[in-house]
Amino acid sequence: MRLVWLTLALGVTLAGMNPADASDTPTAKTPADQAATDDPWLWLEDIHGTRSMEWVKQENARTQARFASDASFDKTRDAILQVLDSDARIPYVNRMGGELYNFWRDKTHPRGVWRRTTLAEYRKAEPKWEVLLDIDALNKAEGKRWVFKGVQCLKPAFERCLVSLSPDGGDAVAVREFSIPKKAFVKGGFELPVAKSDVGWIDEDTIYVGTDFGPGSMTASSYPRIVKEWKRGTPLSAAATVHEGKHDDLAVSAFHDRTPGYERDFVSVAKDFFHSELFLRHGGKLTRLDVPTDADANAHREWLLVQTRSPWTVGGATYPSGALLAIRFDDFIAGKREFTVLFKPDEHTALSSYAWTRNHLILDVLDDVKSRLEVLTPPRMAGADDDWHPEVLPGAPALSTVSVVDTDPDHSDEYWLDVAGFLTPASLERGVLGSTPAETIKQEPAFFDASKFTVSQHFVTSKDGTRVPYFEIAPKGIKLDGANRTLLYGYGGFEVSLLPHYSGSIGRAWLDRGGVYVVANIRGGGEYGPRWHKAALKANRPRAYEDFAAVAQDLIKRGVTSPGHLGAEGGSNGGLLMGNMLTMYPQLFGAIACEVPLLDMKRYSHLSAGASWMAEYGNPDTADWNFIKTFSPYQNVKKDGHYPPVLFYTATSDDRVGPVQARKMAAKMQAQGHPDVWFYENLEGGHGAGADNQQSAHMHAMAYDFLWDQLK
């Protein structure tokens, strides 16, 4: 099972340290060391240093005064906050046993409550919830600022859980055992201090744990290198080692499948974002599953599913990239390699995801970035492996997204769907395959008047001839006079797809003002499967930037907007995209919002979790720098360049990308004399830049008001 990271979901940091400082052993200087020596803004890498934080405070005050200190900003922020805090939002749930669980934040509970209810109660307009853990009350009692980061509960009883709590919204968490019947943390139970940990239940008295066990126990990406088996009542130091990875692996983890009759243990060694090795643990020994390291292997009951990322020749057949294959697990272990093809992509389609119910498999297929669902029923008898009985499951309206958000694979064929479009508020539907068609259980309210707008999909030819899609949400009867304030959003990395979705915040803060909103489905994403992602890897990274620029040029050519009225926004890897729009294509944009970004690609692998992304970008300490330098904004910004106004925003507690790259880029551009370079850093919130709804509303409102102001 290849580790799946939805954004840059990565590790802890030695930011602010020269790599040579991390050890007493002298090492040869890398190109990044030399870059650091030549970097006058290196001191900003001291994340919590007095000098750094003083600079941050000064920049925050300047940006706050300019874009977040008048009635207009208050109106935008409050409009967004009303959406985020609305009691009419859908409380999304996941089933554990006979009850439905939800984590909820609102005005009364800014840090949130973890709660549960029954299906019968959930169907009501105003369900009664049983609160299990109140994070705000916990913070008051402990004098902390905990941010809830998820929970794992032991099935089938679902009474004991491992709760993850971040001290500042970052990815490093404390882990505590929690008792649902007692609604309290277990005294003397499993507990870990704040670290980048990976934990999972084996049984009521045993867990798998990967954490910071001391020097040398974390990878270069600052994830667990060692996974152990920890028995209740024993010190962590007595936990038995299950497997040790290498320092340059991304992460090592283990998990136990408790499915009755199919209990199995696995160890996963992630080599990088897209390559991993999966081992079956049995009798104290590890047996590697013989699948390609870049494939995603998933065992469920009697089946092994393999999703390919590269063509794979095995058992006398060749399977294409992006295919989904099935074989009986025991047959595979016995050496058989005759797979059944469950999905095969074509020029227009890709497999977005799949989900098991008790007796069926639901495929979420993208067809030119639009959703459709298919249901497969596996054969019950051995020898009939080719007959999976495919059927079409009614999907979403045109230009919408339908996705499976929960199933009950151990007990029933229940499934939950989230259905939404750019102008269609999300609905949560529930059905039972074979008996109950999907029915709407919850409907999100309309937060803006969608009747004034229209959605369209367009295709543009990129520089190398590739056909690139994009979605446009615009006022009905729009005048194609080039005068429309237009916001172009993109990501283009890590095989992440940007799909149609409903956003009350965007509707209120951008569309209701008369703006046009555009989503670019550029290469590097997953809209057309692995091939779309690989087309922008490493040396091919500029293809993503050419695609985004092509969309911008098409909007201008069509008369939707003009450079002075066209803004761009992106975060994380999308922040790197924004940095390259700034340095490569400044003539196309009137303003850019660059959020929690990567920018210094010379040193990125030595900052925060950067070492884990080298499969995406390359290793700047090798000859890869010859191509990486072409898309490193921090190195490419020039004193004599002409750049549009730019806002960099980040978070001190971001322990994935870290705040230092945005800091350094802003400081460098200001020192070069470029006007309209703005910077804001939230203290909490981690990579999301907001620890609660109030903080999130503030950050988003600042970006939207900055862009609207600059695109006059």
Q: Inform me whether the pLDDT recorded for 33 exceeds 80.
A: no
Give the mean model confidence (pLDDT) for residues 289-307. Answer: 97
pTM of the full predicted structure?
A: 0.93
Strand order in the sheet with 275-282: 251-257, 264-272, 275-282, 285-288
Tell me 239's DSSP state: P
Name 284's Cβ contacts closer than 8 Å, sequence gap at least 6.
none
CA distance 381 to 403: 30
Give the mean model confidence (pLDDT) for residues 357-385. Answer: 89
- Quickly state the pLDDT bin for 686 (edges 50, 70, 90): confident
Q: Inform me whether the pLDDT recorded for 18 exceeds 50.
A: no
- Quickly state the pLDDT bin for 1 (edges 50, 70, 90): very low
Mean pLDDT over all residues of the chain?
93
Residue 14: predicted pLDDT: 23
Give the mean model confidence (pLDDT) for residues 31-45. Answer: 80
348's tokens: 């227009």
Task: Look at the alpha carbons of 598, 603, 609, 615 in this order and tell me if their dihedral is positive or negative.
Answer: positive
260-294 core/surface letters (b: 16 or more CB in 10 A; e: else): eeeeebbbbbbbbbbbbbbbbbeeeebeebebbbb
- Quickly state the pLDDT bin for 12 (edges 50, 70, 90): very low
Give the mean model confidence (pLDDT) for residues 484-506. Answer: 97
Residue 398: predicted pLDDT: 76
Residue 690: predicted pLDDT: 81
Give the mean model confidence (pLDDT) for residues 482-487. Answer: 98
- Quickly state the pLDDT bin for 396 (edges 50, 70, 90): low
pLDDT top residue among 712 and 598: 598
Residue 382: predicted pLDDT: 64
Name 339's Cβ contacts closer than 8 Å, sequence gap at least 6.
306, 314, 315, 317, 319, 325, 326, 327
669 three-state secondary structure = helix
177-186, 569-578, 687-696, range with the lowest pLDDT: 687-696
DSSP-based helix, strand, coil % in the chain, nearest 5: 25, 30, 45
Tens digit of each residue's pLDDT (9 = 90 or more) over 495-505: 999 999 999 99
Residue 509: predicted pLDDT: 97
Residue 386: predicted pLDDT: 66
Residue 412: predicted pLDDT: 96
Residues annotated as part of the active site: 572, 687
Task: Indicate the length of the chain as a whole number.
Answer: 712
Q: Inform me whether the pLDDT recorded for 387 exceeds 90.
A: no
Q: Does the domain formed by 34-81+449-710 have CATH 3.30.460.20? A: no
CA distance 194 to 374: 42
Residue 684: predicted pLDDT: 84
Give the mean model confidence (pLDDT) for residues 347-352. Answer: 97
Share of the chain above pLDDT 70, in %: 94
CA distance 270 to 398: 38
Query: What string of DSSP letters covers 471-512?
Result: EEEEETT---SS---EEEE----TT--------HHHHHHTGG
Query: What string of DSSP letters covers 364-382?
Result: EEEETTEEEEEEE---SST
Tens digit of each residue's pLDDT (9 = 90 or more) over 242-257: 999 999 999 999 999 9
Domain boundaries, the chain: 34-81+449-710, 88-195, 346-446
- Quickly state the pLDDT bin for 25 (edges 50, 70, 90): very low
316's tokens: 């006398």
What value, to the nearest 5°, has the Cα angle with vertex 588 and ends 8 and 464? Answer: 70
Residue 31: predicted pLDDT: 58
Beta strands in 7-154 (DSSP E): 94-96, 99-104, 113-117, 130-134, 147-153
Residue 126: predicted pLDDT: 96
- Quickly state the pLDDT bin for 7 (edges 50, 70, 90): very low
Beta carbons within 10 angstroms of residue 115's beta carbon? 21
5-9, 173-177, 212-216, 438-442, range with the lowest pLDDT: 5-9
Residue 6: predicted pLDDT: 32
